[in-house]
């Protein structure tokens, strides 16, 4: 309606074309901004979901994607692009951070901590912890208590 009402204000087709180009650029910027907001909110939802479910040893990309109604491939690429870290590395990071807190604030066994942090296998937990922290869980506990 706005365009229709103002179309007679243009003196020639060049002015009209320039106005349409400017309008297209404006719409593209608005769309870009809107998509960036959507992507940021989607990543925030994913982070929240992971923080609520990292204790589940079956947590996987498909579950996270299903919770946000996007495809696993799209979500994986989007998260990596926006957060600078892969989903699996982020999940591991959350689990190891939680484990480090348990190691320094509780007397739970390594097996209990591994289960509480989403690892079904204590040895895999220890390997993941050492890979991320550069030290075994037992040594970490000794150094920080």
Longest dimension (CA), the chain: 81
- Per-residue pLDDT tens digits for 128-137: 999 999 999 9
**pLDDT, the chain, mean:** 91
- Per-residue pLDDT tens digits for 74-126: 999 999 999 999 999 999 999 999 999 999 999 999 999 999 999 999 999 99
**Alpha helices, H only, 10-71:** 13-53, 61-68
- Domains annotated for the chain, with CATH where assigned, are 90-144 (1.10.10.60)
Amino acid 9: pLDDT: 78
Count other Cβ atoms within 10 Å, centred on residue 110. Answer: 20
Q: Treating both helix axes as pointing N-terminal to C-terminal, what angle do 13-53 and 72-83 enclose, rounded to 10 degrees?
A: 100
Q: Treating both helix axes as pointing N-terminal to C-terminal, what angle do 61-68 and 87-105 enclose, rounded to 10 degrees?
A: 110
Only one residue has tokens 């550069």, namely 134
Only one residue has tokens 């719409």, namely 27
């Amino acid at each position: 309606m706005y365009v229709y009402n103002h179309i007679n204000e243009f003196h020639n087709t060049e002015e009209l074309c320039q106005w349409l180009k400017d309008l297209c650029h404006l719409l593209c910027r608005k769309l870009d901004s809107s998509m960036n907001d959507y992507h940021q909110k989607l990543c925030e939802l994913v982070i929240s979901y992971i923080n609520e479910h990292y204790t589940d040893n079956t947590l996987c990309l498909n579950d996270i994607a299903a919770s946000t109604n996007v495809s696993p491939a799209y979500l994986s690429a989007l998260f990596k692009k926006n957060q600078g870290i892969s989903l699996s590395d982020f999940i591991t990071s959350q689990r190891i951070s939680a484990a480090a807190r348990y190691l320094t604030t509780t007397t739970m066994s390594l097996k209990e901590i591994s289960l509480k942090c989403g690892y079904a296998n204590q040895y895999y937990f220890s390997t993941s912890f050492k890979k991320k922290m550069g030290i075994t869980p037992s040594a970490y506990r000794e150094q920080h208590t």
